[in-house]
Amino acid sequence: MTDRRTPPEGSGPLPMTMQRLQELFDAYGARSDRWPLSELAGALTLLRDSAEARQRRDEAARLDAVLDRAVTRAPSPGLLDRVLATASGVRPPIARTAPCRHPNDHRTPSDGPLYVHPPRQAARRWRSVAAAASFAAAAAAVALWLAGPSGTPHDTGTPAAVAVLGTYSTPTDTLLETENLSVVDSLPAFGCSDGEWGCPELDLAQEHSTTGMRRRIHV
Amino acid sequence: MGAPGTSETPVSDDTLVARVGAGDALACRELAERHLGRIVSFAYRMLGNHADAEDVAQEVFVRLWTHAARWHPGGARLTTWLHRVALNLCHDRWARVRERPMEAAANLPDPRPSPAMMLHERDIARHVSAALESLPERQRAAIALCHYQGLGNIEAAGVMEISVEALESLLARGRRGLRARLAAIAPHLLGER
């Protein structure tokens, strides 16, 4: 094994004591290829120099030998084919269904399920399509506006008609006054007239201006 | 023997996973042939049941096929990832067993040795397996990863998402428990009277 515990950077081999050697036997057993690399040299030196260390190693080796006699099971003959059959039915997930990760999330596969890249390329592609579609729609709207009937929506007729009919510029009450008619008397009688039910009690006699009346009614 | 410079270097796991992500069926086969046996063995150590172990192993590879396109080369080793997924699936199965206490009690081996067990040395292998199954889950996982799967302490600690010191503690307690159980069954094998 190559990935045993390594000593801190800049430090030398860790000192080996009988107690620590026993801890190695207790945890990893008697085989030196299972011990942390950083402690291997010290452990081997102690083993060479100490009969007690060798005796303890032999005790650990006996347990190793018994553990090695545990039942082992090889895969069934058909398992490989079943596993490969699952490969044919599995498709990689669609990129946009993959979970996005926070930009500061730097977990690696060793921290859990495989690293999942956010679908950045797909998002960029969709943003480009959306921008192009927006531009095309705006251009079409301008073209329709330019190709439509000339003139503004406020035009009420041709110049000839305006010359005949004239342009309205005098308030209605002023026009009525020239015929001795009151604008109040000409109001239609509709809606609520009972103040008890919350209808506004309008003193329309006091109001003669069109704009003023409109203001009161809308209060 | 081939000519110098023509010997083929085994394709790395990372390369094979990338090819699986691209839909290469041959890469699927090569990865399965390379790792399936180890994963079955590990799941069997954890669950003590061959059929369950093969179900777990199959699910591990289904997940590998599914995630292969998103594999991040240069990150964790594939063996680490496979063992971690297998261990998580074993945890799921233990959790389901715990929800059925009566059934679980019926399936768990009796750690107490019977006189017959002490007499028949030919059953040592079965007794060792039973002793392993009687260990607490985390101790069993630590011993399975380090002793049987041959993972280094750093990789095994990574699979279990614990520190190396915590792994050593689990290993030591696990081996101590195994020694006690096996000493009651076959003391002569351990040099005890």
pLDDT digits (tens, 9 = 90+) for A186-207: 554 444 444 444 444 444 444 4
| Partner residue facing B65 (CB), from A5, A64, A87 | A87
| Partner residue facing A36 (CB), from B53, B62, B153 | B153
The position carrying tokens 């399920």 is: A113
**Would an 8 Å CB–CB cutoff place B155 in contact with chain A?**
yes
**CA triplet B141, B108, B191: central angle to 5 degrees?**
65
Contact B109, B130 (CB under 8 A): yes
CA distance A140 to A146: 10
Which of B70, B89, B167, B176 has the most A C-beta neighbours within 10 Å, making it the best mutation to test the interface with A?
B70
Contact B82, B35 (CB under 8 A): yes
- Indicate whether B183 pLDDT > 60: yes
Which residues of chain A are within 8 Å of residue B151 when distances are taken between CB atoms?
Answer: 1
- Among A5, A64, A69, smallest CA distance to B124 is for A69
- The answer to whether B75 contacts A115, with C-beta atoms less than 8 Å apart, is yes
Average pLDDT of span A164-180: 59
Model confidence at B81, pLDDT cuts 50, 70, 90, reads very high
Which residues of chain B are within 8 Å of residue A67 when distances are taken between CB atoms?
Answer: 128, 143, 147-148, 178
| Partner residue facing A75 (CB), from B28, B40, B169 | B40
CA distance B57 to A75: 9
Q: What ipTM goes with this model?
A: 0.82
The dihedral sign for the CA sequence A39, A45, A50, A54 = positive
- The answer to whether A70 contacts B151, with C-beta atoms less than 8 Å apart, is no
In B99-152, which ranges are continuous DSSP H helix? 101-107, 115-119, 124-134, 137-143
At position A56, the amino acid (one-letter code) is R
- Among B21, B31, B41, smallest CA distance to B83 is for B41
**Would an 8 Å CB–CB cutoff place B42 in contact with chain A?**
no
In A90-151, which ranges are continuous DSSP H helix? 120-147
Which residues of chain B are within 8 Å of residue A113 when distances are taken between CB atoms?
Answer: 67
pLDDT, residue A78, reads 93
- Indicate whether B8 pLDDT > 80: no
For residues A89-122, b (16+ Cβ closer than 10 Å) or e, as one string? ebebeebeebeeeeeeeeeebbeeebbbebbeee
pLDDT, residue B189, reads 76
- The answer to whether B128 contacts A67, with C-beta atoms less than 8 Å apart, is yes
CA distance A44 to A33: 11
CA distance B73 to B58: 23
Q: Give, rounded to a whole angstrom, the gap between the first and last alpha carbons of chain B.
A: 54
At position A131, the amino acid (one-letter code) is A
Question: Mean pLDDT in chain A?
Answer: 65
- Indicate whether A130 pLDDT > 90: no
| Tokens of residue B163, six digits | 């520190």
Give the range among A202-216, B30-44, B67-81, B155-169 with minimum mean pLDDT: A202-216
Give the range among A21-35, A79-93, B145-159 with minimum mean pLDDT: A79-93
Which residue of B lies nearest to A62 if distances are taken between CA atoms? B190
Which of A23, A38, A80, A86 has the most B C-beta neighbours within 10 Å, making it the best mutation to test the interface with B?
A86
Which residues of chain A are within 8 Å of residue B157 when distances are taken between CB atoms?
Answer: none
Coil vs helix vs strand at B11: coil
Which residue of B lies nearest to A1 if distances are taken between CA atoms? B152
Q: How many other CB atoms are found less than 10 A from the CB of residue B95? A: 9
- The answer to whether B158 contacts A26, with C-beta atoms less than 8 Å apart, is no
pTM, to two decimals: 0.61
CA distances from A111 to A106, A119, B46, B155 (A): 10, 21, 21, 12
Q: What percent of chain A has pLDDT over 90?
A: 28
Give the range among A63-67, A193-197, B21-25 with minimum mean pLDDT: A193-197
- Among B188, B128, B143, B149, smallest CA distance to A28 is for B143
pLDDT, residue B123, reads 78
pLDDT, residue A194, reads 45
pLDDT, residue B40, reads 97
Model confidence at A3, pLDDT cuts 50, 70, 90, reads very low
How far is A14 from chain B, CA to nearest CA, in Å?
15
- Indicate whether A113 pLDDT > 50: no
**Would an 8 Å CB–CB cutoff place B90 in contact with chain A?**
no
| Tokens of residue A166, six digits | 């004239």
- Indicate whether A4 pLDDT > 50: no
Contact B171, B142 (CB under 8 A): yes
Q: Which is higher by pLDDT, B97 or B6?
A: B97
CA distance A7 to A199: 93
**Would an 8 Å CB–CB cutoff place B160 in contact with chain A?**
no
Side-chain half-sphere exposure of B99, counting CA atoms within 13 A: 5
- The answer to whether A26 contacts B66, with C-beta atoms less than 8 Å apart, is no
- Indicate whether B94 pLDDT > 80: yes
How far is A128 from chain B, CA to nearest CA, in Å?
25
